[in-house]
Amino acid sequence: MLRAVLFFPLFCVALLSAPFSARAAMEIQVIGGAANKIAVAMVPFQAAPGQPVPALTEIAGDDLERSGQFRRVDVSGMQQPVAPAQVNYGIWRGKGADALVIGQVAALPGGRFEIRFYLLDVIKQTQLAAFSYTISAAQWRATAHQIADIIYEKLTGIPGAFSSRIAYVQKQGKRFELRVADADGQNPRTVVRSNEPVISPRFSPDGARLVYVSFEDKKPVVYVQSLQDGGRRKVAAFKGSNSAPAWAPDGRRLAVVLTRDQASQIYLINADGSGLTRLTRGGNLDTEPVFSPDGQTLYFTSDRGGSAQIYKVAASGGEPQRVTFSGSYNVSPAISRDGRHLTYISREDGRFRVVLHELASGQTRVLTDTARDESPSFAPNGQAVLYATVQGGRGILGTVSLDGKTRTRLSESGVDAREPAWGP
């Protein structure tokens, strides 16, 4: 861990052509949840001929349950209202529902569909939301995630993150694939295929590009690639190792780790590869930079104090300050979008686990109970952390809520999944 430049060997590589392609999706297992879950009754929407499957309420309901903050009320044998005027609130309150979701799907010419849905407060007997969408069949899952986002925000006061995406590197045999998928692991598409490692993917702030490290030049080189047309550009291919890229919040600059002058140090560079400037100095190893949400500070991993710890430094330069003091080995920092929390990997008794660090108070909490965790990153709404771990001898992805009570496992049979990043 002091990743990339410290522990990845320099392989000889041959990057293959990489048109986007869809592949099999991951299976999801949810473990635990909040003590007091919001009970939501999701009545299957009145169906239209030829509509896609699974149902919208099934996809959205799975999203909500995966957050650990909701439970679905059994609606079998119940009335099937499609509009608020048809709802008997007393019946649903008797079923223990806090909220009710109803709606309908209508077929339109050209294979399109009109979706109407309502979110109702069963306790107060009021309407919380009403939305309609006109979509193609290809937008079916995306619409279900949007519905889940609306329900989540209306009932918790926090924006949902079900419409966001994840990136990860999947290894099957000797083949590496950089993939982008929905937050639930569905709808995966391959961005890069290689016979050698591709590491450290990160979404640009607008979600339109990925930065990553490829070994196709017989050493690590940083690339920026468009997710729309697949076009890419080398942005850091200097002498020595080029690794651990991180986006500035404005999407115009990157922090990268280079060994062009001495041991790994952090540099800033424009996203087009111009304007290189050095940020950290010294004979120590500095790596894994990440920008604060305001772009004024970088957090990074360094051994300058004798062991791997998290430090911070002003983006304009200056003397780094140590951030982590609990534990003898802390690496791979990521920061929440509100700037309140840091997450990283901490080693204790030979186990590498995800830790949450509240920056204002310095308080920490171990979030996982596994032993070989790596590469944590926050959900866009800051309510969960995505990471990689090892289960049954192979790499899988996981998420964990900030209280550590809800965990999910995302895995695909016969493959290793590593290097995850959560994006818009």
pLDDT tens per residue, range 60-105: 999 999 999 999 999 999 989 999 999 999 999 999 999 999 999 9
Report whether pLDDT(371) > 50.
Answer: yes
Evaluate if residue 16 carries a pLDDT over 60.
no
pLDDT of residue 31: 85
Lowest mean pLDDT among 24-33, 96-105, 183-192: 24-33
pLDDT score of 17 more than 60:
no
pLDDT above 50 for 14: no
Question: Could you tell me the pTM of the whole model?
Answer: 0.92
The packing angle between helices 56-66 and 140-156, to 10°, is: 50
Please check the confidence at residue 263 and state whether its pLDDT lies above 90.
Answer: no
Q: Residue 20: which pLDDT band, with cuts at 50, 70 and 90?
A: very low
Mean of pLDDT values over 239-249: 97
The pLDDT value given to residue 35:
75
- Residues 323 and 344: beta-carbon distance below 8 Å: no
pLDDT for 6 beyond 70: no
Q: Report the percentage of the chain scoring pLDDT > 70.
A: 94
Mean pLDDT, range 45-54, rounded to an integer = 97
What rounded mean pLDDT belongs to the chain?
92
Higher pLDDT, 216 or 9: 216
Instruction: Provide the pLDDT confidence category of residue 362 given band limits of 50, 70 and 90.
Output: very high
| Residue 8: predicted pLDDT | 30
Tell me if 29 sits within 8 A of 194, measured CB to CB.
no
pLDDT band for 24, please (50, 70, 90 cuts).
Answer: low
- The pLDDT, as a whole number, for residue 34 is 73
pLDDT digits (tens, 9 = 90+) for 407-420: 999 988 778 999 99
Three-state secondary structure readout of the chain: CCCCCCCCCCCCCCEECCCCEECCCCEEEEEECCCCCEEEEECCCECCCCCCCCCHHHHHHHHHHHCCCEEECCCCCCCCCCCHHHCCHHHHHHCCCCEEEEEEEEEEHHHEEEEEEEEEECCCCEEEEEEEEEEEHHHHHHHHHHHHHHHHHHHHCCCCCCCCEEEEEEEECCEEEEEEEECCCCCCEEEEEECCCEEEEEECCCCCEEEEEECCCCCCEEEEEECCCCCEEEEECCCCCEEEEEECCCCCEEEEEECCCCCCEEEEEECCCCCCEECCCCCCCEEEEEECCCCCEEEEEECCCCCCEEEEEECCCCCCEECCCCCCCEEEEEECCCCCEEEEEEEECCEEEEEEEECCCCCEEECCCCCECEEEEECCCCCEEEEEEEECCEEEEEEEECCCCEEEEEECCCCEEEEEEEEC
Over range 341-354, report the average pLDDT. Answer: 97
Pick the residue with more confidence: 144 or 217? 144
Convert the pLDDT of each residue in 34-44 to its tens digit: 778 999 999 99
At 338, list the tokens: 């509100």
